[in-house]
Amino acid sequence: MSGRPDLPPVAQADLDAVTRQLGRPVRGVAEVGHRCPCGEPDVVRTEPRLPDGTPFPTSFYATCPRLTGALSTLESQGVMREMSERLEEDDDLAASYRAAHDDYLRRRGELGAVPEVEGISAGGMPTRVKCLHVLAAHSLGAGPGVNPLGDEALAMLEPWWENHPCSADAPPAVPEGDA
């Protein structure tokens, strides 16, 4: 499935887990980007072009329903607005966030080039914050210290993985064509 020949195929068990988590069939998964402490995938890296040909800039995609729910709660509390305001006031934070944008583009480029999304990362990078899910997924997939605002969002969360497995809370998958 991956455009990179050095990536092994994604295990069917992982694709099945992500399908359960999302409640729909997965598309364009290149690899598991991060595993929750419970063992389930919680971030996948997605091809920059989906199998149907659609450009897809969101390379790091959070899949765990508990993680995405916790991040949605942060978003509803105004965290994105506060972070965006800080980007305008803090030059060091803004520079680190621009570096995160560059890292995101580099890592997506490892999976293939798609002219339609060239230079576009995700989550509002490099100038604003519009999606904590993408920023946190980037932090989990790339590791701490790469995306400062993703790291901050993760630090605000309670341990979402405490009840095993995370995908047990997900709705059953919708068969292809029924969504």
Q: How do residues 1-43 score in pLDDT, each as one tens digit?
A: 445 567 788 999 999 999 999 999 999 999 999 999 888 999 9
- Reported pTM: 0.88
Domain-embedded: residue 115:
yes
Pick the more confident residue, 105 or 173.
105
Domain-embedded: residue 164:
no
Domain-embedded: residue 151:
yes
Q: What are the pLDDT digits (tens) for 96-124?
A: 999 999 999 999 999 999 999 999 999 89
Q: Supply the pLDDT for residue 48.
A: 95
Q: What is the number of structural domains in the chain?
A: 1
As a whole number, mean pLDDT of residues 138-161 equals 95
Q: Supply the pLDDT for residue 165.
A: 58
Q: pLDDT-derived band of residue 157, with 50, 70 and 90 as boundaries?
A: very high
Domain-embedded: residue 77:
yes
Domain-embedded: residue 171:
no
Structural domain boundaries enclosing 92:
12-158
Q: Supply the pLDDT for residue 8.
A: 83
Q: Are 84 and 128 in contact (CB under 8 A)?
A: yes
**Mean pLDDT score of the chain, rounded to an integer?**
89
As a whole-number percent, the residues of the chain with pLDDT over 70 amount to: 88
Q: Supply the pLDDT for residue 39.
A: 86
| Distance, CA of 109 to CA of 152 (rounded, Å) | 25
Which of 11-25, 80-94, 102-116, 159-173 shows the lowest mean pLDDT across its residues?
A: 159-173
Q: pLDDT-derived band of residue 177, with 50, 70 and 90 as boundaries?
A: very low
Domain-embedded: residue 7:
no
Domain-embedded: residue 170:
no
DSSP the chain: --S-TTSPPPPHHHHHHHHHHHTS---SEEEEEEE-TTSSEEEEEE-SB-TTS-B----EEE--HHHHHHHHHHHHTTHHHHHHHHHHH-HHHHHHHHHHHHHHHHHHHHT---GGGTT--STTTTT----HHHHHHHHHHH-TTS-HHHHHHHHHS--TTSSSPGGGGSPPPPPTT--
Q: Supply the pLDDT for residue 161.
A: 80
